[in-house]
């Protein structure tokens, strides 16, 4: 029994450590990271973690593939939880999209599910940008600063909670989970 307790405690500690690393990167490096991402996307058309290893030419980023993954995952989670996600109807695989604006530049996140999940930053088409700026589709456009502020607030909130409460809050998406509620 103690071995199981140790594994659970170890798992929870590792989860909290990785979550804190992700939040620290976004809070302290998020603005410079999105500037570099937008620059690369404007030059390349898209950017994902594999481009760091296999891209020709290699992207000029001051951060790692893991940190790029932090941005992709966290931004998509934020979009999903705050405005929802449109889908690309022409894609044969299950997918979802997110749009972020920073300094009048729009970057799209494209996430596809098949035999795994792959996601990447993409430069949206001119038609998509027009829809985001001039139609009700604009509800999906998120200000990058709102994402950073949310991450900062979540970090402050997690400092007030115990480690297990923070993890439970993260797992449940902020919803209170009660026993025997009717």
How far apart, in whole angstroms, are the C-alpha atoms of residue 14 and residue 90? 39
What is the pLDDT at residue 17?
A: 86
Q: Is residue 58 part of a domain?
A: yes
Q: Is residue 174 part of a domain?
A: no
Is residue 169 predicted with pLDDT exceeding 60?
A: no
Q: Is residue 172 part of a domain?
A: no
Q: Is residue 182 part of a domain?
A: no
* Separation in Å, CA 112 to CA 7, 24, 35, 137, 173: 32, 27, 24, 20, 22
**Total-model pTM:** 0.81
How far apart, in whole angstroms, are the C-alpha atoms of residue 147 and residue 174? 16
Q: Is residue 33 part of a domain?
A: yes
Query: Tens digits of per-residue pLDDT, 5-16?
Result: 667 778 888 888
Query: Tens digits of per-residue pLDDT, 95-104?
Result: 999 999 999 9
What is the pLDDT at residue 65?
A: 93
Mean pLDDT of 88-109: 96
Q: Is residue 173 part of a domain?
A: no
Name residue 121's beta-bridge partners.
47, 109
Query: Tens digits of per-residue pLDDT, 16-48?
Result: 888 899 999 999 999 999 999 999 999 999 999
What is the pLDDT at residue 155?
A: 78
Confidence of residue 181 (pLDDT cuts 50, 70, 90): very low
- Domain count of the fold of the chain: 1
Q: Is residue 171 part of a domain?
A: no
Q: Is residue 181 part of a domain?
A: no
What is the pLDDT at residue 55?
A: 86
Task: Print the domain residue range for 7.
Answer: 2-162
Phi-psi region of 148 (alpha: psi -120 to 50; beta: other; left: phi over 0): alpha
């Amino acid at each position: 029994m103690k071995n199981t307790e140790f594994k659970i405690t170890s798992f929870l500690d590792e989860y909290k450590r990785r979550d804190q690393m992700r939040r620290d990167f976004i809070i302290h490096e998020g603005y410079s990271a999105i500037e570099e991402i937008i620059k690369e996307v404007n030059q390349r058309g898209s950017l994902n973690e594999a481009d760091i290893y296999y891209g020709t030419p290699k992207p000029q980023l001051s951060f790692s593939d893991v940190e790029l993954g932090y941005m992709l995952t966290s931004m998509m989670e934020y979009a999903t939880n705050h405005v929802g996600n449109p889908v690309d109807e022409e894609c044969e695989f299950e997918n979802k999209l997110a749009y972020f604006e920073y300094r009048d530049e729009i970057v799209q996140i494209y996430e596809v599910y098949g035999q795994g999940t792959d996601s990447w930053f993409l430069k949206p088409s001119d038609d998509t940008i027009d829809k985001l700026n001039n139609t009700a589709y604009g509800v999906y456009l998120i200000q990058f600063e709102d994402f950073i502020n949310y991450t900062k607030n979540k970090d402050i909130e997690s400092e007030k909670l115990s480690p297990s409460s923070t993890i439970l809050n993260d797992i449940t998406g902020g919803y209170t989970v009660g026993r025997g509620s009717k």
